[in-house]
Structures are given as structure tokens and as C-alpha cells.
Structure 1
Amino acid sequence: MRSDYWDQPAFETIRPRRLVAPVVFNSPHSGRVYPERFLAMTRLDHLSIRQSEDAFVDELFARAPHLGAPLLRAHFPRAYLDVNREPWELDPTMFVEPLSDRFNTTSPRVAAGLGTLARVVAENKPIYRERLTLDDARMRIEGIYHPYHAALQKLLSESMAGFGLAVLIDCHSMPRLGRHGERATPDIVLGDRYGTTCAPALVDLVETVFTSAGLRVARNRPYAGGFCTRAYGRPQHGVHALQIEVSRHLYMNEVTLEKNAGFEIVRGLMERLILTLIGLDLVALAGTIGAPEQLAAE
């Protein structure tokens, strides 16, 4: 089956002219290029199908390459393919053919309709008119999912080779949590899989950037970090992964998916975060976020 992105890139790596820090930014859910074939398969209108997007997150972090850190961003939408899942996390009710035991068909994400190929978008709206074929799943997973993760792994490996450690910042947005006006509702959720994927000193630093701007920050609840955080975060091997969820109401209208007056403020805050991360004194922090013998030689 020919790729739905045969005539355009499904994703892109935006590299800095000079890599100045071992930080990699990843925006896997902000894609908004919807293939015509996919749109013909869905029962949803053009606005409804976009409800699962982390809309404009790639733009919030767009300054990263200009400041010396690479940005990997999807152009394909999350409703089409979710690279923040296991590669074959599939719902058997979505396919014409039966799925063998090699597929993960029983995960909580599949049960919620949010597997590698999602069954629903926000508010449990079914995406497809008819069932899919396994050829369609293979086209997306073998043709896009695996190359995407190969590109991400390459960036992290380059950071390890150049600096002796790597820091993955997995960039996401979330619906506004709680009821309007509820004081305890977080603006930012940081996910490090309950302290297992990122050095505490790094998480503390990121939290301070946000709290200093007057934002409310929560850790790991309700988002502890998805597949990318879990799969790549190996602090004991010098690879740290932290998921950042930004509440959409801060920068956009969640119904119309249009930027609001807060967009430039949030983008400026993300630039401050990027500058903070790439300005880290790695030697001073070697004892907490990296391998001291490797960093001492930098």
C-alpha cells in the first residue's frame, strides 16, 4: 500500500546550525497535515477530527533549533497515528482481519480507543466509517512510526556521543483540567514516570521555570509520561526523559482551535525554558544528571 505521505514528509527534524547542548525536543502530537484518503475514511468533520491534536505545541517550542537544540515534530496527526504508543498497540474491533498474539490488544490505552491507531478522538467520538485492513496499519507503522522513532533515537545518540548524556523533552498539551475557576487545577503537568525517567534535579529546574511565571505545576498526575518517556528515559545510562503537558486554555481556544491572546506569552515562556535547559552547567550537575567521568572531559 502506498504511503498516505508519498508526496510530502510525514515528519521533520529541525536541526540547529550548531548543537550547543544535549537537549532534544520532541512534538509527536502537534501534526495537522491530514491526508485526503484518511479524511475520506472518517465520519468526523474537519474540526472534530482535530480534537486530539496537541495543537500548536511545535510552534510553542519552535525556537529550540535557533537556540542550539534539535526539534523533531510530526506532520501526521495523532488521530492518524500515535507514536507515543507501543508500535503494535491495536484494537481488534477496528480491523477486518483477526489480530494475532503478536499485537498488544489488551492495554488500557487500546480499551480507551487510543492505541497506535486510535479508534476515537476526544469525547469518545468514533473516527472511522468502516473497519481498516492490516495493510493500512502496516503502512502507517512500518512506513512512518518506525522511521519516526529511528529519527528520535538518532538525535539522542548524537547527544550522547557529543556530550556524554541526553535529555529528551517530550512536548504535549492537555485539555483544561477540572472545572472553570477551580484553584487547584494545574496549568502544567510534568511526567517522569514517578521519578524513574529523569534526574530529580532536572525536573525541579523545569518546575521552577514554570512556577516562577506564576503557573501551577503538578507531577505525574494525571499524566505520568507516555511511551516515549518510558522507552527512552534511562537515567542510569545517561538518557533523561521528561514529558511536559501544557494546559491548552493558556494559549488557545479549545473549541475553535484558534490561538488566543496568551499564545505569545506561553511561547516566550517556552523560550525561557529552552534557554535554561541549554544553559545548564553540565559539569556542575554531573553528579545528579550524568556520568561524571564522561562529563569531566567536556
Structure 2
Amino acid sequence: MTPSALPDAPDPAYDIASPERPTSPTVFNSPHSGAVYPPSFLAASRLDSRALRRSEDAFVDELFAAAPAAGAPLMRALFPRAYLDVNREPYELDPRMFEGRLPPFANTRSVRVAGGLGTIARIVGEAQEIYSQRLPVAEALARIETLYKPYHRTLSRLIARAHRAHGVALLVDCHSMPSTGGVRDDRPAPDIVLGDRYGVSCSGAIVDLAERTLKDAGFTVARNRPYAGGYITEHYGAPPSGFHALQIEVNRGLYMDERVHARLPAFREVADRLTLFVRVMAEAPLTALGSARLAAE
């Protein structure tokens, strides 16, 4: 199989909802809301489509759909996370999953690979194995070349364009989290978790603004626990250079029935409350907020 030989992969692999007038230095991204499952992937899986969808950030792109009206682009993957995860390094691959030799530069020893959640995941949900047999290495490389690399090239261009226009850029990486799991004590799970890699990927003043805005909209908010941000937040966040990256995780129990992947009646109300967050982050004075934290340090 050649790197481009993915005849049933989603084409296009992603789309961008662009504003009529791009006025914002903020870029919104939904990398895990894709739901176009290639038939060959479904055939190779030992799981049915409902089980595979457990790793999806279902409807997250809709929750943040107000971005273009606020002057900011919203990018989203159309392929599912279970097929290819762009919130990983490009070659975080588990050699046990593949027939053939992986490239020598593949990261086969990361914590995420060990947990079954590399660039091409081995499991979904509660450690359910996805594949009934090993995949050809060429299949993995084809997914990376055909889907992963174009996705990141495009996301990089959107961020660079915002930075050129405004001298600063903010990436808001949009995700959802299960309503149960991740919390290690008896406290209820928060509505929102903001991740800034423990202060490394985004100015603290920007995160403070995000937290205040979400609390004003009636959400309970936590920072970095249990989700501090993944590869995207880490890779694109460089505050000293004017590039800020903030991950937001929305509790799925607020807006969807996780058992059947259906929107709850409260979906529209939750989306409306998040619209306030979208507008504030799209219109935030990022130059002042970003430099405020750097000056304090």
C-alpha cells in the first residue's frame, strides 16, 4: 500500500468554517468530533460502530459553532479519533499492532502508546481492543501521510495567519470528556476542564479570563486535572513567541446521552452558554493578556 492508497478515507479529511470577516487572533479546533468511519476500518474492527464511537468527542464542533460569527475560524476533523488521532505525535505507534517494521523514528515507548492510545489507537472505551488482527505498517503510514500531515499543515497555517495579522495567536482546542471517570475521589466531575500544560502553553491571564467567563456562564471549572492538554496544546503553545494554546474539555453529561450518542434536550442551552465563551475568547485583547503574564514572570 502506498501512502496515498486510502480509497475509502474521508475526502476531504477536514473542513474549516471561516468567518466572513476574519477579525480575531483566535483559532478554534475540534480534532476529535469526526464521525465519518471508513468501511474498511469498520470491517477490520472487532467492535461495532456504537462501541467505536465511545472515543468520539461527539457534537463538540456544534457546541463551538459560533466561532465564525465571532470572527474566528473553526477547524474540525471529519475522520474519527479511533481511526487516527491528530492529538498525538505523528508517529506514536505500537509495534504490536502492525505487521512489518515501523520506521526507526517512530515513538514506540510513549505513555500514550503503552496505554493503547497512540496515533493509531489500539483500544477504545474501557480497554476494548479495536482490531481483530494486526494492520500492515503501510496502512499506518498511509493514514499519517494522507490525513494527519495535511490536517496539521492546515492548522499551522491558520495559526500563523492569525499571528501575522495580530502579532499574537490563540488556539482553543475543543474536546469533550466522559461524565464519569478521570476523577479519583468522590467529588463530582466538573462541567469544564481547562488545560494549559500547567502554565506552559498559554498565558495565565488568558486562562484566568477563560475560567471567569465560563463560571459567569454557570459552569463549574477545573484546571489541568485530569486533562492538562495533549500534543496539540503542547506543540502549538509558545507564549514567549506570542502563540498561546488552551484546551477545553466539556463534560458530555451536560449535553448528550452517552449511551446512544444523542443530543439531550439541554444541548441548545449548553451551546448558547458556550457561545459567550467563544465570543470572549475571539475578542480578547490577547496582546495585553499575553504580555501581562510574561511581565509578571
Q: In the alignment, is the contact (CA less than 8 A) between 2:167 and 2:287 conserved in 1?
A: no
Q: Within the alignment, does 1:9 sit opposite 2:51 as a pair?
A: no
Q: Deviations over 1:59-117 (max 9, x none)?
A: 11112112210011000000000000000000111001133431111111001100000
Instruction: Identify which of 95, 99, 102 aligns with 1:99.
Output: 102
* Aligned amino acid, residue 282 of structure 2: I
SS in 2 for 1:137: helix
Shift of 1:279: 2.2
Q: Within the alignment, does 1:205 sit opposite 2:209 as a pair?
A: yes
> Residue 269 of structure 1 aligns with which residue?
273
Give the unaligned 5+ runs of structure 1.
292-298
Q: Deviations over 1:275-294 (max 9, x none)?
A: 11122234654632799xxx
Query: Partners in 1 of 2:93 and 2:278 — Cα distance?
Result: 35
* Aligned amino acid, residue 139 of structure 1: A
> Residue 133 of structure 2 aligns with which residue?
130
> Residue 163 of structure 1 aligns with which residue?
166
* Aligned amino acid, residue 194 of structure 2: L
Query: Partners in 2 of 1:265 and 1:182 — Cα distance?
Result: 27
* Aligned amino acid, residue 136 of structure 1: E
> Residue 288 of structure 1 aligns with which residue?
292
Q: In the alignment, is the contact (CA less than 8 A) between 2:36 and 2:79 conserved in 1?
A: yes
Q: In the alignment, is the contact (CA less than 8 A) between 2:168 and 2:287 conserved in 1?
A: no
The TM-score with structure 1 as length reference comes to 0.92
Query: Partners in 2 of 1:163 and 1:127 — Cα distance?
Result: 44
> Residue 78 of structure 1 aligns with which residue?
81
> Residue 90 of structure 1 aligns with which residue?
93
Q: Within the alignment, does 1:195 sit opposite 2:199 as a pair?
A: yes
Q: In the alignment, is the contact (CA less than 8 A) between 2:217 and 2:274 conserved in 1?
A: no
Give the unaligned 5+ runs of structure 2.
none
> Residue 251 of structure 1 aligns with which residue?
255
Query: Partners in 1 of 2:262 and 2:246 — Cα distance?
Result: 27
Q: In the alignment, is the contact (CA less than 8 A) between 1:4 and 1:35 conserved in 2?
A: no
Query: Partners in 1 of 2:106 and 2:207 — Cα distance?
Result: 34
Query: Partners in 2 of 1:89 and 1:81 — Cα distance?
Result: 11
Query: Partners in 2 of 1:145 and 1:193 — Cα distance?
Result: 22
Q: In the alignment, is the contact (CA less than 8 A) between 2:203 and 2:290 conserved in 1?
A: no
SS in 2 for 1:170: strand
Q: In the alignment, is the contact (CA less than 8 A) between 2:93 and 2:120 conserved in 1?
A: yes
> Residue 63 of structure 2 aligns with which residue?
60
* Aligned amino acid, residue 292 of structure 2: T
Q: Deviations over 1:218-239 (max 9, x none)?
A: 1111111000000000000000
Shift of 1:46: 1.4
* C-alpha RMSD over aligned residues: 1.9
Deviates more, 1:95-104 or 1:44-53: 95-104
Shift of 1:4: 4.1
Q: Within the alignment, does 1:234 sit opposite 2:234 as a pair?
A: no
Q: In the alignment, is the contact (CA less than 8 A) between 1:156 and 1:166 conserved in 2?
A: yes
> Residue 24 of structure 1 aligns with which residue?
27
* Aligned amino acid, residue 206 of structure 2: L
- Matched residues, percent identical? 52
Q: In the alignment, is the contact (CA less than 8 A) between 1:53 and 1:77 conserved in 2?
A: yes
Query: Partners in 2 of 1:252 and 1:85 — Cα distance?
Result: 26
Query: Partners in 1 of 2:288 and 2:102 — Cα distance?
Result: 51
* Aligned amino acid, residue 91 of structure 1: D
The TM-score with structure 2 as length reference comes to 0.93
Instruction: Identify which of 174, 177, 182 aligns with 1:174.
Output: 177
Q: In the alignment, is the contact (CA less than 8 A) between 1:4 and 1:37 conserved in 2?
A: no
Query: Partners in 2 of 1:150 and 1:290 — Cα distance?
Result: 28
Query: Partners in 2 of 1:7 and 1:276 — Cα distance?
Result: 33
Change (3 A) 1:282 1:196: closer
